[in-house]
Amino acid sequence: MLRFEVNFVDVLPMMALATESELTSLLDDWKHGDPSALQKLTPIIYDELRRIAHRYARRERNGHTLQTTALINEAYVRLAGEESRDWQNRQHFFAVTAQVMRHILIDHARRRRSLKHGGDAAQVSLDEATAMTNERAAELIALDEALAELAALDPRKSQVVQLRYFAGLSLEETAEALAVSLMTVRRDWRAAKAWLYKRVMSNE
Amino acid sequence: MTSRSYSSLITHYSLLITKFMTPERWQTVEETLQAALDCPASQRADLLAKACAGDADLQRETTSLLEAHEAAGDFLEQSALERDAQLLIDSDDRQTRAGTAIGPYEIIERLGGGGMGEVYLARDQRLARLVALKILPAYFVSDAERLRRFQIEARAASALNHANILTVYEFGESDDTHYIATEYIDGRTIRELIAGESLTIADTFDIAGQLLHGLSAAHAAGIVHRDIKPDNVMRRKDGEIKILDFGIAKLIEDANSDVSLLTSRATSRTEVGAVLGTIGYVSPEQARGLAVDERTDIWSAGVVLYEMLAGRRPFSGATNADTIVSILERTPAPLFGDEPKARPLKMLQRIVGKALSKDAGARYQTAAEMLSDLTEVETEMAAGSRKNGGINAETTLVELRELAEVRASASRFALSIATLAVLALVVIAGTVLYRRSVARRSIPPPVPTVYAQMNEAQQLQFINEQEQRVSAMMGERPVKLNDEALRAIKVVVDRYMAPPQPGEPSLSEIYARAPAYLPVIANEFNARRIPIVVGIYLPVIESAYQPCFENVAGAKGLFQFMPATAEHYGVARADMCDVNKMAPAAAHYIADRMAELGDDSQSMTLVLLSYNRGAQSVLEELRLLRETDVHYERNFWTLYANRDKLDQTFRNESAYYVPAFFAAAIIGENPTAFGLNMQPLSTQVPNRER
């Protein structure tokens, strides 16, 4: 009987994905003040994320957890085209990536919220594509707002959270990216987490 | 008071606090919080009372943060993308988990997906046949009329019943899910074949020929594909070429012209390419948004032929807009240099050039015309090998490109000194240059010695070499692993290389545990004449070298025995953590499986597989294979390559077992390449004797 030669690493790419240069130029457009570039990035990012996620999910022998660290790294490297861009250094790369990721996710969450009642067909299809639920959107927006408040109180702690949460960095990598000690990051993280948790919960 | 207004009261209160919190105040609060967190929970109340003497607000604030700290748990511990990735998978799974029924089809697994929808391998329960099931995204099928037109077109192409056109079995709808069931192809896309770099000239003729045959039939019926590209053409294992997705391109174009979709999906035809695929294959008239006819497919076929021959696309740019400009205005770089000497190359160059005429009127007007010219080249190549400069049908395209480069430099030289005598010299120079170029090519750029720094091709190459080394240590007869098999190993290597999950041991921890157990393992495996490398690396994949590890199924110990099996091999339940008892049991168990396997035990990979699931089932798989016409070497990789013919058990679990073993061994034998600070495990075995 015939079947695809299913390679559990690289399944048949039915559709070629956006190339790195296309991603790069969208990012550039956005940096130069074109807010619509962010909206165009969203489906691309999620397509990419879905593809990578499924690939990693298949690798798990028992299929219960996701090998996410590798996943995140791959997504970010592709998103930022690490090799093809002129990053001043690793810190710069991570800082920009975290910021971009935060903007993309929050922007999507906000549009989801504001368009929810309009029945916008495009938004509905995008929501389908990104699997973003109301709860998830609310969660992201609340976190974003709390993070902005934290930034006013304690910029470094908000940086730590941004790097950890939006760029997926470990404590060690965060320490490296911010050029502070691991101990400092650990302490910043636990305090920031408590503060944000309290802040976000009080809004529920 | 309702709970709603109560909670908004809290919100206001909390906002008030935040509002009055200054960076300075926060610093005080944080210092108190950190001090409290640093001391044992039992002493926190005392500490707070002391630190906050006379400042009730500080005490309240810190206490609530301490409570938040306790309650936060894994809040934010999973990064945003991780969270979203999990959500994506969960939502996809909900929609189409294996075993889910969509209409009469039962989903087996996901094959791929993208802008045009997810594709699944499924079984038609009425006919018990496998199909490729494409689920159309909701936004493509929201317009009933558009969907109907699409179905007519796709059905029409399929109805041609042409060998080179994918057969569409059925369009259907089930619970608002629109799907297409098509013939299921056992093969690869031309995109994958190009990337594999193993295509020969003969392959290229064959692929292009069949592609043109299929197009010719479709065009005769008035059907234009509009999206011919290497991803849409597959080669089945038996060599038959299939054109996929007739009608889809039109559907996408129509869908994207809908205003409602413009906001998020794409804002212009150009950007449709960015989201949906590749712009490099569209014809000039398509790029301009003009009406198209079958000659647009001729153009795209020309692009595919060019790419197969040259290994690069004729039109490309840093952005889609640049690519479009290139399509509209530029002549692609000549395939084989300015003036290829060999006649077949000259002819090929002309054919591609004609197919890629900007003006549709100057192109081949039919696929049949182009096919006829191609056939002529093929004949030429088969006939006059002398004139062809050593190029024949078996020349791989990579070789051909190298030859073409040499010729290009040689012919430029020839132009400056145009005498016959010198032309003769040129031939010699060409040969020398060719040799030199081959020599230059044979000195590869320095390959990184650290796995993580290699690119994917280098990693696969590395795994290839190391697999052979480990195989040799196992006494396995050398076989050449195909790309798929190498990737199966690579998957596990990469998984090992990924940072461990919380609670999981790191790679270096796992390997650092091994040396303590190596003496007893080596002794016992030597005694039973089983290659010790098997004993060394089995515990890595079985228990991560934890002598008392117990899995969910109840298997336990370094070598993961089920209690009943352990007892059978003389290890009491209570002794399963004892390596001195488990190592001999494992060697004994393997020796028994080898006896059961008989002749097939000469392949250690089959022995490994029988360790995983018993010798009888391995023998059964081999018997199943024998019934087919497979004449390969009997080893795990043969089973792996034919796993579709075997049972589900083999596919799910056993397919990864032997690759995982090789991954563990490759890492353990090349510690420095994987950043491990240790000697290769096999060299740490005392008194090594075989």
Q: How far from each other are the two terminal CA atoms of chain A, in whole angstroms?
A: 55
Give the three-state DSSP class for B64: helix
> What are the two backbone dihedrals, phi and then psi, of residue B343, each rounded to the nearest 5 degrees?
-60, -45
A169: left (phi over 0), alpha (psi -120 to 50) or beta: beta
Residue among B105, B76, B30, B309 nearest B190 (CA): B309
Residue among A159, A8, A11, A168 nearest B489 (CA): A8
- Do B656 and A36 lie within an 8 Å CB cutoff? no
> Percent of chain A at pLDDT above 70?
47
Average the pLDDT over each of A119-123, A124-128, B306-310 and give the range with the smallest value.
A119-123
Query: What is the SS3 assignment for chain A?
Result: CCCCCCCCCCCCCCCCCCCHHHHHHHHHHHHCCCCHHHHHHHHHHHHHHHHHHHHHHHHCCCCCCCCHHHHHHHHHHHHHCHHHCCCCCHHHHHHHHHHHHHHHHHHHHHHHHHHHHHCCHHHHHHHHHHCCCHHHHHHHHHHHHHHHHHHHHCHHHHHHHHHHHHCCCCHHHHHHHHCCCHHHHHHHHHHHHHHHHHHHHHCC
Q: What DSSP letter does each residue of B207-226 carry, written as one string?
A: HHHHHHHHHHHHHHTT---S
Q: How far from each other are the two terminal CA atoms of chain B, in whole angstroms?
A: 83
Residue among B515, B271, B16, B468 nearest A26 (CA): B271
Cα angle, residue B635 at apex, residues B489 and B457 outer, rounded to 5°? 30
- Do A50 and B113 lie within an 8 Å CB cutoff? yes
Residue among A66, A144, A72 nearest A105 (CA): A144
The single residue of B124, B206, B227, B297 carrying the catalytic annotation is B227
- Do B115 and A15 lie within an 8 Å CB cutoff? yes
Residues of B383-393 as b/e, b for ≥16 C-beta within 10 angstroms? eeeeebbebeb
pLDDT at B199: 81
Residue the block writes with tokens 């490296």:
A176
Helix residue ranges, H only, B445-562: 456-474, 483-497, 507-513, 518-527, 532-543
CA–CA separation, B104 and A7 (whole Å): 26
Residue among B190, B192, B179 nearest B122 (CA): B179
Encoded amino acid at B343, one letter: R
Residue of B nearest to A66 (CA): B86
Burial status of residue B85 (CB atoms within 10 A of its CB: 0-12, 13-18, 19 or more):
buried
Instruction: Kindly report each contact of residues B24-32 with a partner whose C-beta sits within 8 Å and lies 24 or more positions away, as own/partner.
Output: B26/A153, B26/A154, B27/A154, B28/B58, B29/B58, B29/B61, B29/B62, B29/B65, B30/A154, B30/A191, B32/B58, B32/B62
pLDDT at A148: 93
Output the six-digit token pair for B455. Answer: 């690119």
| Count of all residues that appear for chain B in the document | 690
Output the six-digit token pair for B611. Answer: 């360790």
Query: Within an 8 Å CB–CB cutoff, is residue A131 touching chain B?
Result: yes
B143 catalytic per annotation: no
- B600, B619 contact by CB (below 8 A): yes
CB contacts under 8 A, A 13-52 vs B, are 13-19, 21-22, 25-26, 36, 39-40, 42-44, 46-47, 49-52
> What are the two backbone dihedrals, phi and then psi, of residue B129, each rounded to the nearest 5 degrees?
-120, 155
**Which residues in B lie closer than 8 A to residue A35 (C-beta atoms)?**
none
- Note the pLDDT tens digit of each residue in B550-606: 765 567 899 988 777 888 889 998 899 999 999 999 999 999 989 888 888 888 999
Identify from B65, B88, B97 which residue to disrupt to test chain A contact, counting A C-beta atoms within 10 A and taking the largest count.
B88
CA–CA separation, B319 and B271 (whole Å): 10
DSSP B630: -
Residue the block writes with tokens 């003009």:
B290
Query: Within an 8 Å CB–CB cutoff, is residue B647 touching chain A?
Result: no
Query: Within an 8 Å CB–CB cutoff, is residue B3 touching chain A?
Result: no
Average pLDDT over chain A reads 67
- Note the pLDDT tens digit of each residue in B403-426: 665 554 444 333 333 333 333 333
Q: Is the per-residue pLDDT at A62 higher than 60? A: no
pLDDT at B306: 93
Encoded amino acid at A76, one letter: Y
Strands B168-174, B129-136: pairing is unpaired
Q: Is the per-residue pLDDT at A194 higher than 90? A: yes
CA–CA separation, B175 and B19 (whole Å): 51
Secondary structure element (H or E) that encloses residue B31, with its range: helix B23-38
CA–CA separation, B365 and A139 (whole Å): 58
Output the six-digit token pair for B97. Answer: 């988990």
CA–CA separation, B129 and A16 (whole Å): 29
Secondary structure element (H or E) that encloses residue B20, with its range: helix B3-20
State the virtual CA torsion across A74, A77, A80, A85 in degrees, nearest 10: -160
Q: What residues have CB less than 8 Å from B290, skipping those under 6 apart?
A: none
**Which residues in B lie closer than 8 A to residue A22 (C-beta atoms)?**
274, 319-320
Give the number of C-alpha atoms closer than 13 A to the C-alpha of residue B476, restricted to the C-beta side.
27
| Count of all residues that appear for chain A in the document | 204
> Percent of chain B at pLDDT above 90?
23
**Residue B26, min C-alpha distance to chain A (Å):** 7
- Do A121 and B261 lie within an 8 Å CB cutoff? yes
Residue among B281, B279, B262, B261 nearest B270 (CA): B279
- A48, A75 contact by CB (below 8 A): yes
CA–CA separation, A126 and B115 (whole Å): 11
Asked if the ipTM is above 0.85, the reply is: no
For chain B (690 residues), the mean pLDDT of every run of 10, in chain order, is 38 47 91 90 86 88 91 82 72 63 84 65 86 74 69 76 87 78 87 80 90 92 86 89 79 48 31 47 85 90 92 79 83 79 83 94 94 88 60 66 55 36 38 36 56 89 90 83 90 84 80 92 91 93 87 77 84 91 93 88 90 81 74 82 72 78 94 89 70
Residue of B nearest to A21 (CA): B318
CA–CA separation, B503 and B549 (whole Å): 14
Number of residue pairs across A and B with CB atoms under 8 Å?
Answer: 272
pLDDT at B342: 76
Give the three-state DSSP class for B603: coil
CB contacts under 8 A, B 149-208 vs A, are 184-189, 191-192
Query: Within an 8 Å CB–CB cutoff, is residue A172 touching chain B?
Result: no
CB contacts under 8 A, A 45-104 vs B, are 46-47, 49-54, 57, 59, 61, 65-72, 75-76, 101-102
Residue among B532, B539, B513, B432 nearest B676 (CA): B513
Secondary structure element (H or E) that encloses residue B660, with its range: helix B655-669
Q: What residues have CB less than 8 Å from B159, skipping those under 6 apart?
A: none
CB contacts under 8 A, A 142-171 vs B, are 143, 149, 152-154, 161, 164-168, 170
**Residue B22, min C-alpha distance to chain A (Å):** 6
CA–CA separation, B196 and B167 (whole Å): 27
Angle B397-416/B295-310 helices, nearest 10 degrees? 90
Q: Is the per-residue pLDDT at A19 higher than 60? A: no
**Residue B401, min C-alpha distance to chain A (Å):** 25
Query: Within an 8 Å CB–CB cutoff, is residue B81 touching chain A?
Result: yes
- B611, B538 contact by CB (below 8 A): yes
CA–CA separation, B679 and B690 (whole Å): 20
Burial status of residue B570 (CB atoms within 10 A of its CB: 0-12, 13-18, 19 or more):
exposed
State the virtual CA torsion across B429, B434, B439, B445 in degrees, nearest 10: 120
- B263, B174 contact by CB (below 8 A): no
Identify from B39, B81, B658 which residue to disrupt to test chain A contact, counting A C-beta atoms within 10 A and taking the largest count.
B81
Q: What is the pTM of this model?
A: 0.42
pLDDT at A88: 55
